[in-house]
Structure 1
């Protein structure tokens, strides 16, 4: 073993502290992205270039050049562009066509869409047919004698089997006895037998402070009564699934915009589908009949804000638009002649369903027709931030088992309120603020998180082992699962069982997560790298600076390097930093170094969980 490695090993046994840099800080990584969890701005200002005459040298000769200039990878550009060249046709006339100016809706929602309508051809081509309606509402019959349609099975919840008696069918054709204000209907279950469980919110707090660009909340969930499931338990580094509902106010607004009478919104209705898995989550592709309510379907089964608009949705709105001008504009967006405007429309910021309905106020499609074209509301997954085998609390004379998670609130622009929260993170923030308000008012909160044990093969949990040195690299909320790793490791710390943490943040005063909560040896195992304070470095810079430590760990028996956080900026930067370490310490070329880490990933020694 080289002398540097031997010296490092001796020092690591002594105090488990990553070696202090002996050279000056490295420059910020060129993979900087403003969307990253821990990247914000270049650490050192770049001096303005001297004036010189124009050059004929090509500025884009490779994929890397394109990304440097546009700020996007080639894949991102491909995803954003349909490839039809429609971007170059905006505002241009086609010979032989007659055009007309169509008055546009005069409302803030329409103006917020930023649609660049010029003159519209009087004759449109390539308009798609109305999408197939696959969901139908029918009144719930009051007795078995009125059952006329052939029944079809469902995945769970209300089942109607051909072999059951009419009395049994009549009993099943009624709303299930379930509080859907705290958990979804049973037919929304992820996959048998993993039913959604309303875990009581035991405690919550905000981890970030005033001034942080992104708010992060901590949650303690009581899973004492979680149903027993064979072969499944909460794991260190594992994840839970959360069936987060849409915001109740947003659902109410859509019901208002669709002019659904208030007395029908919570009234039982028979939903009949002809194909697909909706409104289940991981159900089979088959026809279904089940009893539910219109509010529950919009709350738990339809994503009303996370996806760009689609032509089937716009075609439905055009079909039911009562205003002729609105109908022309919607038809234009669906037509071949409006492809350029449509591409601009769908590749911009995500537009909520309520925004589109407000923009075209005369479009009032029947709700079951609209449901046939909306995207499925899918569960969100969150990593555990504690060791779930050691988290218990005595309360009311009973031992309660707790799991802990951290959630960073995702925000995007909104035409009405300025910003809106993500479906999952927004739900968590609302629950946290309600809990804190009720505690401040002297009340005992009764709030719940609809969750289930994660079904994903979480690589962090899968590759966690109790032996061998381990380096944990994370930024933002990506650091949360590593807290459980450290809690478990520090209980059996020995010379062959070391753990180090490199945590990238913006400013330790406002957004350092779980400061002081990593165990009694926190100052010996964790190093915080700030991008806005002190030396203004990024976590990938520290990876290069700790090359000896990285190389020692990855070449040790059962040594592991874990990376968790945003793929933009941090994830890409750490990957390049690890390649640089392999090139330096292993005397490898760039491609050889990349292959080296690929082999370590295949062997389960290099684990990256990024998004």
Structure 2
């Protein structure tokens, strides 16, 4: 694989720490090495012991109403941990209700919601109350005196009144911002820090075509990052990224709300009654500022990540003109419809646009909708390099930080796939950069990011000098690359580090192959779950195969075991494998082995960063 010149230069800086070939085993050496274990074949499991057939069962209930009829407690309050959003309300006795057949919306968006709506009660109870309006969008007087719609974030003095504000250019407190590429300056992560526009130095795909998940690598130039903005970048640390909603999705939402195109970028006066919004973690206070409708939907409100609440459904019901749509929406908000609503929230992923397509006659005012939407929060990404050693020649030294981003996708109601807010934004930027480079152009593409707020737990525990075992799968191995680079430059490389990396197919999705700055075969073991020949296995299987190494490291002075990746599947499997290793090598019972790792976690020797 060809690599940019700056990458070759950084790899050369690690060459002095390439570990020598291991010496023959001696009686005084107790440190094991990565043991041999075949990743291409696994012992065939024994035939499962046939279990006796259980007695046949009969379904006597399938929802809360059935249970109520059985136990005879119509007022029982059902606490459903999974549903949230106000769905756990007191259930009613449906035996006394009158029902009617309601014609359901006949469109693909509604069908994709998979709502199990049958007969609807004619009388509904416990509908949400209409909240007091706290967000107001007002016209700006003398709008022609505003320099540009991209000058959003002009604060208005506390003493000024909306009917007497002077909006002449001399009131501008900040330089112009192009909000098509960078958030308004009121979108602050944490005062007094601001979001920095980091230029993309390079971007490339880490995975090959055909990989189940696409992963991209980014070099971000932070040479000009303001020194006064908090702590320094460090190995294993993370940066926050203020990723915007996709422009096409924002335009579609404004189309669905019937917002005329000629006013979408027109300056407006936004007044809030209190709270943080539209900042991220700003002070809780009332605000008056100049912005645009597009900026609020692009940078401030999450329109796709959170399941709908009853308050949001009630808002749609209040502003629908179709009688049947209103009955369905009211039913979802009521106590009588709580079971359907819980299934709705925990069912297929739903975006704001899909809801408006599903109930096409609902056109809530933008300010009321903004009041119900969750704020658009930053996404955090771990550094995949040692930022203290990353310098490339460019008018002295250009300082780079590196991250890897895997694109998160879910099924969309239109039949395609929908990407996550953050990963989708990174992929769009990567594809623009790669396309421009192929044309021989040098694109000026940027990432709105900040530091100083969130430190990866792995970084806090990296200060020790003992042996380390790094276990990860997928993009979870990205921060390990920086750990290896740093470890092999310190303490004369005396302290070893080992990596167990799980991949689906090493030919398609093994990240950073050949880019660790060391003889990878000596420190890294790659485990494939999908082999071209033979049977693959998972990284937790390799943990069991390397039980000697696990036991040596965790019982060494300042020994550390790090786990990073998805909690579902990999994280849970690795934890079970670690328990099995302790049982085998420490002659412990399962309860004792579980307690052993709990104590190691409390001592900071076992660190799991999973999501």
TM-score of the pair, normalised by structure 1: 0.84
1:158 aligns with 2:152: no
Unaligned segments of structure 1, at least 5 residues: 1-5, 28-43, 58-75, 144-155
Between 447-456 and 163-172, report the one with greater CA deviation. Answer: 163-172
1:288-327 equivalences in 2 (<5 Å): 288-327=287-326
In structure 1, what is the equivalent of residue 82 of structure 2?
A: 79
Residues 272-287 of structure 1: pairs in structure 2 closer than 5 A: 272-287=271-286
Q: 1:411 to 1:495 in 2, by over 3 A?
A: closer
Separation (CA, whole Å) in 1 of partners of 2:431 and 2:136: 38
How far has the Cα of 1:600 moved from its partner? 1.9
Task: Indicate the residue corresponding to 1:126 in structure 2.
Answer: 126
Alignment of structure 1 residues 204-283 onto 2, 5 Å? 204-229=203-228, 232-283=231-282
1:110 aligns with 2:107: no
Name the SS of the counterpart of 1:205 in structure 2.
Answer: strand
Post-superposition offset of 1:593: 2.1
Q: Secondary structure at the match of 1:193?
A: coil
State the match for 1:490 in structure 2. Answer: 488
| CA–CA separation in structure 1 for the residues paired with 2:257 and 2:167 | 35
Matches within 5 A, 1:380-459: 380-395=379-394, 397-459=395-457
Alpha-carbon contact 1:244-1:300 (below 8 Å) kept: yes
Change (3 A) 1:329 1:140: same
Q: Distance in 2 between matches of 1:311 and 1:544?
A: 47
1:10 Cα offset (Å): 3.3
Question: Hey, what's the Cα distance between the residues in 2 that align with 1:289 and 1:315?
Answer: 27
Aligned residue runs from structure 1 range 465-480, under 5 A: 465=463, 467-480=465-478
Q: How far apart are the structure 2 equivalents of 1:9 and 1:188? A: 60
CA contact 2:80–2:88 (8 Å) conserved in 1: no
8 Å Cα contact 2:142-2:167 kept in structure 1: no
Q: 1:454 to 1:442 in 2, by over 3 A?
A: same
Change (3 A) 1:583 1:537: same
Q: Point out 4+ residue stretches in structure 1 off by more than 3 angstroms.
A: 6-12, 21-27, 44-57, 80-89, 93-96, 161-176, 492-496
**Partner Cα distance (1:266, 1:82) in 2:** 33
Task: After TM superposition, list the pairs within 5 Å mapping 1:553-568 onto structure 2.
Answer: 553-568=553-568
Structure 2 unaligned spans of 5+? 1-24, 58-78, 144-152
Cα deviation, 1:326-365, whole Å, max 9, x if unaligned, reads 1111111111221122111111122000000011111111
| Equivalent residue number for residue 349 of structure 1 | 348
For residues 231-288 of structure 1, the C-alpha deviation after alignment (integer angstroms, 9 at most, x for no partner) is 5111011100001000000000001111111121111111111122111111232211
Deviation of 1:193 (Å)? 3.1
Find 1:503's aligned residue among 497, 501, 504: 501
- Asked whether the 8 Å contact 2:85–2:308 carries over to 1, the reply is no
How many residues in Structure 1 have an aligned counterpart in Structure 2? 553
Question: Residue deviations 1:401-430, cap 9 Å, x none?
Answer: 111000111100101252100010011111
User: Contact 1:318–1:330 (CA<8 Å) still a contact in 2?
Assistant: yes
Q: Alpha carbons of 1:51 and 1:502: their partners in 2 closer, same or farther (altered >3 Å)?
A: closer
Asked if the contact 1:86/1:340 (under 8 Å) is kept, the reply is no
What is the alpha-carbon distance in structure 2 between the residues aligned to residue 595 and residue 261 of structure 1?
62
Provide the residue aligned with 1:602 in structure 2.
Answer: 602
1:575 partnered with 2:575: yes
Secondary structure, in 3 states, of the residue corresponding to 2:29?
A: helix
Aligned-partner Cα distance in 1 for 2:167–2:99: 62
Deviation at 1:484, TM superposition (A): 0.5
1:518 paired with 2:537, answer no
Distance (whole Å) between structure 1 residues aligned to residue 310 and residue 178 of structure 2: 36
Q: How far has the Cα of 1:8 moved from its partner?
A: 9.6
Whether contact under 8 Å (1:105, 1:326) holds in the other structure is yes
Q: Distance in 1 between matches of 2:607 and 2:49?
A: 41
Secondary structure of the structure 2 residue equivalent to 1:600 = helix
Offset of residue 85 of structure 1 = 9.5
Equivalent-residue separation in structure 2 for 1:372 and 1:53 (angstroms)? 55
User: d(CA) in 2 for partners of 1:539 and 1:483?
Assistant: 17
- 2:368 maps to 369
Q: Distance in 1 between matches of 2:39 and 2:393?
A: 51
Distance 1:341 1:173, change over 3 A: farther
- Where does residue 149 of structure 1 map in the other structure? none
Contact 1:133 1:369 in 2 (8 A): yes
Task: Say whether the 8 Å CA contact 1:174–1:268 is kept in structure 2.
Answer: no
| CA contact 2:229–2:451 (8 Å) conserved in 1 | no
Q: What is the rounded CA distance, in whole Å, between the counterparts of 1:440 and 1:23 in structure 2? A: 38
